[in-house]
Amino acid sequence: MSEDRLAQARAWMRQDPDHETRDELASLITRSAAGDEHAAAELDDRFGSRLAFGTAGLRGELGAGSNRMNRVLVAQAAAGFASYLREKSSGGRPAVVIGYDGRRNSRVFATDSAEVFAGAGLRAILLPRLLPTPVLAFAVRHLGADAGVMVTASHNPPNDNGYKVYLGGADEGSQIVSPADAEIAAHIQRIADAGDVSALPRSSDYETVGEDVVEAYITATAAVAPAPGAASGLRWVYTAMHGVGWETLSRILRSAGYPQPSVVDEQLRPDATFRTVAFPNPEEPGAMDLAFARARRAKADFILANDPDADRLAVAIPDGTADGGWRRLTGNEVGLLLGARAARAAEGTPGASLACSLVSSPGLAAVAAHHGLDFHETLTGFKWISRAPGIVFGFEEALGYLVNPGTIRDKDGISAAVAVLGLAADARERGLTLADLLAELGDTYGHFASGQVSVRVEDLSVIANVMLSLRSLPPTQFGGHAIAATEDLLAAAAGQPSGDVLRYRLTDGSRVIVRPSGTEPKLKVYLDAKGESAESAKSLIAELEAGVRALLEERS
């Protein structure tokens, strides 16, 4: 272990206000200085780089060091963001709203941020308690703030946390995009280079906003789909996935007139250990098993599940088998249901548009065309989707939906839940189910199917090597289906979405897209097909998935 690395670690430890991470770092320093190679490697990992501030803000594992989420890094981020906001301010006192969820250290990081913002001369406004991310995104616009910060790692593993940043004003409460991300990162780096964060001015002169902001969110969200008469007969199950969604959603249900669901008690309240799931993400295998079991006991019609910060929504329905099985709808299926709902309401509105990320179902374009609406395809992430001109609805296949852009410019799993309840109640009035609504989609707009291959890695270089291999030795087919055209979005034309994405268009009209995940150590492959029937489209997806898995095994 070099003396420079040890000196770097000691300097970090001296400025760290958290006794847990100080003790953790002291142990690593002592063991490393004594020749412990494992401790030395750990220090190199923690200080060899810095947790990057990008368009998703900060997100990473909790722990001491510049490459971890901790109180030192958060103080640097808050001070840097404050500097950026003062630089961009046209006068006056910039206002920042801060929210936090139920993860480890979320409240501590939020309070640290409020104190640093107030110490820097900003108007710092802390939400009253742990709340869903959509409430923070709503509050930025509702309070007319210049910016917002949400302390959350969404559906990441239990030992992660994050720092999501929003901008008000002309950005209308959307997440940051380039070049703001790089400009904020530069301000943060200057704070880090200046040295000890304990020298940063802090103040307890920050505001804690009242419940009126939460009440305003509840009122606005209940208005997304007030319950029709048939809603009283709905039988459904809800899980909060150990997160913060239930308290807010239950109040909205009462306001909108929907019946309370049967709940998964084990997952209903915030639990930073996420003790019943391997990953607190409804997309992960096994995460919804308790909800499936509860639904079988309750003889429910459907299941709604939020992720831990409630900005995503999963929907599950009976699979129609004799053993009473359940299946989670894909994000694309839910997105098309909600997209068709929005398109019917917006038909005839000049300039109204639907939007989705480039890896989401092309079926949304068919929905928009059928109803005479504009359509926009964006890069992945609601920071882009929310900025689509004239947007009345937007979604991405990773269970994210924007159903009320007039009040919130981010994905919102709670307002999406209310919209799905509205669809289910309307269907019930016609003697139909959510499964019947999916069949109607195919009959009206065409039979689209989608799939995904997701490869989690320990070493991020594996992903980079696979992407390099695909560019150096381009494939000619997937599962026997020939490739007609390949698009490398690293070299996209001006005005088109650009990024580390490879898009393959097949001769049969199918589509395969490959990209690294922006928030997790995963390589993701997205499959889309259209068939003469739902069965033929699904069969084509199965063939493509087998071909993709074989190719990735060969290239990894």
Mean pLDDT over all residues of the chain?
Answer: 95
pLDDT over threshold 60, residue 495: no
Backbone φ and ψ for 380, nearest 5 degrees, come out as -65, 145
- By percentage, how much of the chain surpasses pLDDT 90? 90
Say if strands 147-151 and 160-167 run parallel, antiparallel, or are unpaired. antiparallel
From the list 32, 106, 113, 154, the catalytic residue is: 154
| Strand 374-378 to 353-357 pairing | parallel
Q: 364-380, pLDDT tens digit by residue?
A: 999 999 999 999 999 88
pLDDT confidence of 1, banded at 50, 70, 90? low
The DSSP code sequence of 267-311 is: GSS--TT-TT-SSS-TTSTTTTHHHHHHHHHHT-SEEEEE-TTSS
Superfamily of chain region 331-445: Alpha-D-Glucose-1,6-Bisphosphate, subunit A, domain 3 (3.40.120.10)
Per-residue pLDDT reduced to its tens digit, 271-310: 999 999 999 999 999 999 999 999 999 999 999 999 999 9
What is d(CA 466, CA 468) in angstroms, rounded to the nearest whole number? Answer: 5
CATH (residue range 447-555): 3.30.310.50
Beta bridge partners of 454: 524
Q: What is the pLDDT of residue 2?
A: 82
- Nearest 5°: phi and psi at 258? -90, 150
What is the residue whose two structure tokens read 């920050």? 206
Q: Residue 106: pLDDT above 90?
A: yes
Residue 178: its pLDDT value, please?
87
Q: Given this model, what pLDDT does residue 510 score?
A: 95
Report whether 341 contacts 427 (CB < 8 A).
no
- Predicted confidence (pLDDT) per residue in 214-229, tens digit: 999 999 999 999 999 8
What is the pTM assigned to this prediction? Answer: 0.93
Per-residue pLDDT band for 92 (boundaries 50, 70, 90) equals confident
Q: Is the pLDDT of residue 497 over 90?
A: no
Report the SS3 class of residue 124: strand
User: Domain coordinates of the chain in residue numbers?
Assistant: 49-210, 215-326, 331-445, 447-555
Tell me: pLDDT of 399 over 80.
Answer: yes
Residue 249 CA to residue 246 CA, distance in Å, equals 5
The pLDDT of residue 446 is above 70: yes
User: How does pLDDT run across 117-132, given as a tens digit for each residue?
Assistant: 999 999 999 999 999 9
Model pLDDT, residue 492: 62
For tokens 């869903």, what's the residue? 132
CATH number of the domain at 215-326, please?
A: 3.40.120.10
Domain 49-210 sits in CATH at: 3.40.120.10
Q: How far apart are CA 535 and CA 538, in angstroms?
A: 5
Task: Find all residues with CB under 8 Å of 6, minimum gap 6, and list them.
Answer: 29, 32, 33, 43
Q: Is the pLDDT of residue 91 over 60?
A: yes
Tell me: pLDDT of 493 over 70. Answer: no
Which residues have a Cβ under 8 Å from the Cβ of 124 and sit 6 or more positions away? 95, 96, 98, 113, 114, 115, 117, 118, 206, 207
Instruction: Tell me the percentage of the chain whose pLDDT exceeds 70.
Output: 98
Mark whether 89 is an active-site residue.
no
DSSP string, 185-225: HHHHHHHHHH--GGGS---S--EE--THHHHHHHHHHHTTS
Q: Do domains 215-326 and 447-555 have the same CATH topology?
A: no
Q: How confident is the model at residue 518 (pLDDT cuts 50, 70, 90)?
A: confident
Q: What is the mean pLDDT of residues 338-349?
A: 98
Q: Quick one: which H or E segment has residue 529?
A: strand 522-531
Please tell me the predicted confidence (pLDDT) of residue 410.
96
- The residue-averaged pLDDT of 140-166 equals 96
